[in-house]
Amino acid sequence: MMIFNNIKKHLFWGICWVFILLSTSILHAQQESFPNEEFTYEEFLAVVKKYHPLVKQADLIITNAEAKLLKARGYFDPKLSADFSKKRYHDQKYYSVFNGSFKIPTWYGIEIKAAFDQNEGYYLNPEHKVPEDGLASLGITVPIGQGLWINERMAELKKGKMYIKLGAYERTLAVVEAIYEASATYMDWKMNYEKMMLYKTFYDNAVERQEWIKKSIVLGELSPIDSVESGINLKTRKLEWEQAKLKLTKSRLELSNYVWSEDGVPLELSEEMKPEDKLQDNIVRVLNLNPVSQDNDVTNHPKINALSTKLSMQQVDRKLKANKLLPKLSLSYNYIAEPGYFNNYYWDDYKIGATLSFPVFLRKERAEVRMADNKLREAAYGLNFQKQALQNKIKAQYAALDSYQQQLFVNADLVNDYQQMLDAESRLFEMGESSIFYINTRENKLVKSKVSQIELKNTYFLAAAGLYKTLAEF
């Protein structure tokens, strides 16, 4: 009993150690972080394009398109079939019927068929009687009207080939969408990082100013009320800094959603990692934008190409529906002979057939053609609208990009002016001709202008990313 308890004890601790090791490895994989350095926007995009699940998910669009093409080609697969039935009753062989065939569908609705029949029995239907060695046949079926120039399998194969093109366009749009969302998250992280650093700088200044004021009060150079005034400013800066740190943490964790390893393991950005400092100078190059040319040609745009491909697929459907206005007329010829004499080509042994069907009023068929025409017109109108809308959107986003650049220059001048005003007010305060209230007022305006500068840069970055998304040049 004691030995059994020892075994259970060792087994329990062994399981615990395995669990701890697995948990540690999983936790390490999730908390694996990038080195403590600047994480540039270009590096971030390279990681997203190569490893992010959304980008890999977009690759499945191509795989699905290839599967649709494979399915369409399956309509042209040869078909082997066999049918056998036998009846025996009271030691009497009523019949034994066997039919085997091999069909080869071709492009223009023509079918080639090879068959073999071997039937026997006392009560066999005279129609099924064949020579003792069976009867072989080789024939062809040709649709004269409906189904000759286009039929279901031809239409599906044409559309299957179009699905490959459509899949490539849709994959590009999906990847561009993922890159845009990732870019917006990176820019939000950069904005919150710069705000946090800004509030930290002014908080440190407020701490230093508070210490200086306390010393001045002890020396009798300032009144105690100045300490209250500067203390309010200090607490305000502390509150702003804490709020900025919280926003930075949230945005950093959100950015980690887009950072994955080569093995498909999610990574977490280090708290000390910082965004690119010179993104304003590099973003146009990284996104491969060309504000100088401002080309609005959307002829080869993936979205327009996708809509054009869908329009072509609808045209195939329309042709198929129009083909159904023709009568169903099929002619078949089968050369028949015993297997041993099949090569003698005695053409008088044959089996021919013809089938004909044709709706008198064609109301259903004419209605389907009319609805197909309406769908084509609707798709054509939508395509023209999307072309014009896309051209105008690109033009507007180029204009917005130029405008935000000019606004950044103006706002930078405002920041410099507010800085000069604060410096001048500080010198007046040192000479006893100003107060803490005026310094705080000047400083608040400077902080506000710098925050506006950070937010305006973020708007400029988002505009550049939005232009990249609209151009969809991946």
Residues 67, 83 within the same domain: no
250 in the same domain as 134: no
Whether residue 164 is found in the same domain as residue 126:
no
The three-state secondary structure class of 226 is helix
CATH of the domain at 378: 1.20.1600.10
* Maximum mean pLDDT: which of 21-30, 188-197, 429-438: 188-197
Element (H, E) at 375: helix 363-430
Per-residue model confidence as pLDDT tens digits over 86-96? 999 888 888 89
In a domain, 116, yes or no: yes
Q: What is the pLDDT of residue 281?
A: 92
Residue 215: predicted pLDDT = 85
pLDDT at 245: 95
User: By three-state DSSP, how is residue 453 classified?
Assistant: helix
Residues 65 and 169 in one domain: yes
In 10 A of CB 226, how many CB atoms?
19
Q: How far apart are CA 78 and CA 67, in angstroms?
A: 19
The share of the chain scoring above pLDDT 70, in percent, equals: 92
On whether both 292 and 211 belong to a single domain, the answer is yes
Residue 465 lies in a domain: yes
47 plus 137 within the same structural domain = no
- In a 13 Å sphere around the CA of 310, the CA atoms on its Cβ side amount to 17
Answer whether residue 27 is part of any domain: no
Q: What is the mean pLDDT of the chain?
A: 88
**Is position 411 within any domain?**
yes
Residue 424 lies in a domain: yes
* Same domain flag for 59 and 122: no
Residues whose CB falls within 8 Å of the CB of residue 465, separated by 6 or more in sequence, listed in order: 180, 183, 184, 187, 287
Same domain? For 194 and 242 the reply is: yes
Same domain? 227 vs 249? yes
Same domain? For 204 and 245 the reply is: yes
Q: Are residues 189 and 332 in the same domain?
A: no
The pLDDT of residue 24 = 38
Same domain, 64 and 83: no
Domain span holding position 212:
32-73+154-315+369-471
- Between 436 and 333, the higher pLDDT residue: 333
Q: In this structure, is residue 14 part of a structural domain?
A: no
Question: DSSP alpha helices (H): ranges in 112-151?
Answer: none
Over residues 13-30, the pLDDT tens digits come to 444 443 433 333 333 444
| Single pTM value for the model | 0.83
Q: Looking at the domain assignment, is residue 15 inside a domain?
A: no
The 10s digit of each residue's pLDDT in 395-410 is 999 999 999 999 999 9
* Number of structural domains the chain divides into: 2
65 in Cβ contact with 164 (< 8 Å): yes
Whether 307 is in a domain gets the answer: yes
Residue 97 pLDDT > 60, yes or no?
yes
Average pLDDT, integer, range 261-288:
90
